[in-house]
Amino acid sequence: MSYPPDKLLYMRIVVLAGGIGGARFLRGLKQAAPDADITVIGNTGDDIHLFGLKVCPDLDTVMYTLGGGINEEQGWGRTDESFQVKEELAAYGVGPEWFGLGDRDFATHIVRTQMLGAGYPLSAVTEALCARWKPGVRLLPMSDDRVETHVAVDMDGERRAIHFQEYWVKLRASVEAQAIVPVGAEQAKPAPGVLEAIAEADVILFPPSNPVVSVGTILAVPGIREAIAEAGVPVVGLSPIVGDAPVRGMADKVLAAVGVESTASAVATHYGSGLLDGWLVDTVDAGAVAAVEAAGIRCRSVPLMMTDVDATAEMARQALVLAEEVRA
Ligand code: FO1
């Protein structure tokens, strides 16, 4: 199939991104549409304060991946990393030991925390950090306000709300999530530039990121969902579920917590036709196309495995092609 018309390459694209899946998709999108003006609205619900430092895993994963500093195997953290600071902290008995902050990564969190302490909002700090990494997209946090995703779990005979990172990294989502709560989201305002980017977009994409704790948390910031629904431009998503299982990560655990089946069609209807115009499912889920279309969402099946940048670029191109189909 030939590449989309030239005008697609120059369009303004807004992407709602989580961590690893979002970052890898963006790398493909940049290859598919090298001249597009891409604004990324990044999830900050995974943010955590550790050792007095503000850590923003999803913003950093996008910044490092697009800026060439990511640990490719892990998909998070820095390349050529060492862990001497973490070891020294552990020698003082200071944890948590379950969260792998490396020495190079620490520098990012120190700079971020210093700037926040000096009064700069997270959006300005992120812009300053990106001046070094030059990700080739405009990376905006969803909000400058503090939003923290907590997970309600039943442990040791009682219900507790724990930080998302504790649930994800320490517990590896091994305990059933009873509820997912983006604490602070209701009071949060979209960061400067977020609503403007949505209003000016030619196309809005939901990458194969976690629909609950990544894209869902961004949509929980009042004003963002409404702005997308009212933007009047194609909104196209790519399923993070292939063959009834998450492509990576443990999205099924948090989908269950919000009562959504781990299928490509269930995730599409969870977003809903009021938000989503188009949905790509993997070829193994071609049987789901009819159900998604019956729900009022244009659907196509294409290969959705981000095995390398070329395969990912082809996925991004298919999303843009579907967006044009929807627009027409
Ligand atoms: N993921 C892990 O599985 N283990 C870790 O120790 C870990 C540390 C970490 C440090 C910085 C960072 O930016 C990301 C990190 N991640 C780690 C990834 C992160 O926990 C999640 O994958 C995302 O928050 C979900 O998008």
Q: What is the pLDDT of residues 97-115, one digit of tens each?
A: 999 999 999 999 999 999 9
Is a pLDDT exceeding 50 seen at residue 1?
Answer: no
Ligand 1 centroid from CA 3, angstroms: 35
If 0-12 CB within 10 Å is exposed, 13-18 middle and 19+ buried, where does residue 145 land?
middle
Question: Of the given ranges (6-10, 94-98, 132-136, 287-291), which has the lowest mean pLDDT?
Answer: 6-10
Ligand 1 centroid from CA 28, angstroms: 22
Q: How many CB atoms sit inside 10 A of residue 282's CB?
A: 21
Query: Which CA distances in Å does 55 have to 4, 80, 96, 105, 212?
Result: 38, 19, 13, 9, 20
The predicted model scores a pTM of 0.96
The minimum-distance atom of ligand 1 relative to the CA of 210 is 26
DSSP conformation class of 10: T
What CA–CA distance (Å, rounded) separates 242 from 262? 9
Q: Is the shortest distance between the CB of 169 and ligand 1 below 6 Å?
A: yes
Mean predicted lDDT score pLDDT of the chain: 95
Q: What is the pLDDT of residue 2?
A: 42
Q: Rounded to 5 degrees, what angle do the CA atoms 282, 285, 286 make?
A: 95
CA of residue 305 relative to chain centroid, distance: 17
**For ligand 1, mutation pick of 24, 53, 72, 76 (most atoms within 8 Å of CB):** 76
Q: Are the C-beta atoms of residues 63 and 141 closer than 8 Å to each other?
A: no
CA nearest neighbour of 234 among 2, 27, 4, 62: 4
% of residues, the chain, pLDDT over 70: 97
Residue 245 — pLDDT band, cuts 50, 70, 90?
confident
Closest C-alpha residue for ligand 1 atom 3? 169
Q: Rounded to 5 degrees, what angle do the CA atoms 150, 156, 158 make?
A: 60
Q: Is the shortest distance between the CB of 19 and ligand 1 below 6 Å?
A: yes
> In this predicted model, which residue has the larger pLDDT, 251 or 62?
62
Q: What is the pLDDT of residue 251?
A: 82
Paired tokens of 71? 């640990």
Strand bridging mode 53-55 / 48-50? antiparallel
Is a pLDDT exceeding 80 seen at residue 236?
Answer: yes
Closest C-alpha residue for ligand 1 atom 2? 169
Q: Strand pairing partners for 37?
A: 12
Q: What is the pLDDT of residue 4?
A: 55
112-121: average pLDDT: 98
CA of residue 275 relative to chain centroid, distance: 17
Q: Are the C-beta atoms of residues 264 and 303 closer than 8 Å to each other?
A: no
Q: What is the pLDDT of residue 249?
A: 72
Q: Is the shortest distance between the CB of 46 and ligand 1 below 6 Å?
A: yes
Q: What is the pLDDT of residue 8?
A: 61
Paired tokens of 242? 């292939």
Q: What is the pLDDT of residue 283?
A: 97
Ligand 1 centroid from CA 118, angstroms: 26
The minimum-distance atom of ligand 1 relative to the CA of 214 is 26
Q: Are the C-beta atoms of residues 146 and 223 closer than 8 Å to each other?
A: no
Please, what are the domains in the chain? 5-46+187-327 (3.40.50.10680)
Q: Are the C-beta atoms of residues 82 and 105 closer than 8 Å to each other?
A: no
* Residue 274, helix vs strand vs coil: coil
Give the up-direction half-sphere exposure of residue 231: CA atoms within 13 A in the CB hemisphere: 29
Q: Is the shortest distance between the CB of 101 and ligand 1 below 6 Å?
A: yes
* Residue 101, helix vs strand vs coil: coil
The secondary structure element, H or E, covering residue 163 is strand 158-163
CA nearest neighbour of 164 among 208, 205, 210, 122: 210
